[in-house]
Structure 1
Amino acid sequence: MHLRLILLLLIAANAGIPASGQRRNVLLNGDFEDINTCSEYNSECGVEGWFYLREVKAQMLGNEGTPAMLGKNSYLIYYDWRGDQGFTPIIGSLLPCRLQAGHAYTFRGMINVKLNAQLEFKPGVAISPAYYVPRRKFATGFVPQEIAQPEPMTEKGWFRFEYRYVAKGDEDYLTFGSFVSQDSTAGKRQLTGTQTIAVTLDNFELVPEDPTEGPCEAWEGMRSAIYAYDFRHKEMDYALYATGKLKLLLPADPAKREPRPQPVAVRKNEVSDTLRLGDLSFDFNKANLRDSTRARLASYFKGNDRFADSIIIEGHTDSVGNDAFNLKLSQARCVAVEEWLTANNIIQPGNIRIAAYGRSRPEASNRTTEGRARNRRVELILYWREKP
């Protein structure tokens, strides 16, 4: 039985909601930075890696003045709601790699929605063998899921959503959409006709919970094939309505789309121990390791008769603070620990992996001072071997 050592570096400063750090995003172009240029129009048609049906209209937006957004762009989608009670697809993406059957993934992102005050918007998702198109025979077995309780962000009008998904292993497409309902409170006049809804999207991720899950062999080939697809709407609509799949030349060998494990080495003769450092391991609002923390780390590692074979560094925060600042701070603190380990010859850089979770995995309630202090931490998962 392999054991692991969890070294907890509890962080003093307030921290917010970073994304998944260096864990692999299964989605292509989830930050919507890469722009697609249609050869037929010789102009921008949308973003690379994402597509939609003809009745949807898209527009690129700059992120200036919105500090929580990552990168330069976000993606604005207009679509019409005609009283449908079920799931309405908005935008979709072809997954370059297969999901691992039985493995859990987290789909998260940020949205800003503008619609009639009498309507209620709830995000939803279908992760399935084809793009979800309502009332099409191929989509009969697909079950879109509502994403519960998106959380308000510090930026006005923006919400962050998160949804956990356990894969079946046959998924090829992710379809993001909505469940829209109308307030039918007595005395309110029912809306008729078409209602236009505007949804701005940014920072979409589909991240494996397993930190060792790596990209598939076909990743670059799939990316090139998907990016090479021109957004010719009529052709795209025909393909999606007919089969739910785009007409792309994809790698022929299905095995090349299976994720390749990137395991942290676990070998024989491993032992474990647990060390906890206090809440003041870093300077306030900075990534600098305090001198007292460096001294304790040096004492622990250099006085050990074993050597660290491989390490995963996981960053965790509480729920307080500006999103953009704390995203950088959380990542920087993981890197600070990594740099100390490599500078002091504790481990080779190639045997370290970083995964920042933000507040998604709290140990305690964020409603109390004590709980937030416990949640501000960096965990080092160490695999030890006896020295020869």
Structure 2
Amino acid sequence: MVMFKRFLCVVCFSFISFFAFSIDFAYGLAAGQMYRVVGLVEETVSVGGQSYFARVLNKSSISVEKAEGNRVFCKAVYVTAEEFSGLSLSVFNKQEDSVSEYWIDRLGNMEIDDSYRYPIVRNVPLFPGRELEAGDVWSASGYEVHYFDELGIKEPFKFPVNVSYIYVGPVSVDGNVLHRFDAEYPVFYRRKAEVSSPDAPVEIRGYSRQEHYWDVERGMDMFYREEFYFALVLNNGAVFEFDGKANAKVVWASPLDKAAVVDAVEKDIDRLDVPDASVESTEEGVKITLDNIRFPPDSAVLLPSEQDKLKKIAEILRKYPDRDLKIAGHTALAGTAEGRQKLSIERARAVAEFLLSLGVRSPEQMLIEGYGATRPVASNATEEGRKKNRRVEIIILEN
């Protein structure tokens, strides 16, 4: 499925002067800071006279590693997930994760190798380095970099954009004063070099219109909205159209005290008498493992006993409402690899949708992933081992 995922480089900023809403915007990241950006893309994709609607969840976790002069070095993990439609609820099925490293200076200029897939939109926003008052405008150059693995294309499709900005001024949002500026750019780009693959993109046209909202007192970007349309022309003449909207917000969270959470969850598992459950600290966060989670053969329908177990787990998860969850499904070694993979995703989805029905999280706070039988924790030669491998993991994520 070909999609425009719309990862922008959203970071916090500080201001140098503030008087009568005259502001000199500048990025103000400091070493040791960590934050994440959660975004949702809703788009209609059209090709060959057929259209489909897609919802894509984008999450990025950014860590500022060090500062050097007027710039900082960042490491980021980007996760994308597509909506997985169920009978009454929807969860997002994780598609990929990717790591990036880049430098960014006070005005927003990035130094990043094109081999990194994200962020897709770069040098946007880019600040002018002077004080701005409501109504002031400026322009700057940015660019976008897209990968189209779905088409079998390995090299990136990179094109420049000339962005027009306007500082709209202060606005009141939920009783808080934020500062809005808009960014807009048209796109018309045609590759000059010849490409050999018939599926390679050679031309793109369209536009992006963005609204950004900044909290000056806290020195951070609260959220942005985007409307976009792009028509992508392939070398074989096929045209993909993407018509949609996106939004994202920045979330700051204190580090997860994994040791304390593990201890508290262990006590809750004992208190609630949750069978076949264990908890441990991992790099991702705190993982609750449910061994031998039972379904009818080759089915993803939760048995009543498992629903009772998950109701107890839900009580535990409600204690950490600000932390996102990942639900991972695993199977024993039976059937085909394709069948095991499909079943593990469906069972993770069943658990996620049941937790959603209990109001544990919103769909945007939960991802599912299936591993089939690729990550066994015991031998599949014995029934006891297979019980351990038929498991679902619920990870309370660090960031």
TM-score interval, normalised by the smaller of the two chains:
0.3 to 0.5
TM-score w.r.t. length of structure 1: 0.34
Give the structure with the higher percent strand: 2
Q: Which of the pair has the greater relative contact order for Cα pairs under 8 Å at 6+ separation?
A: 1
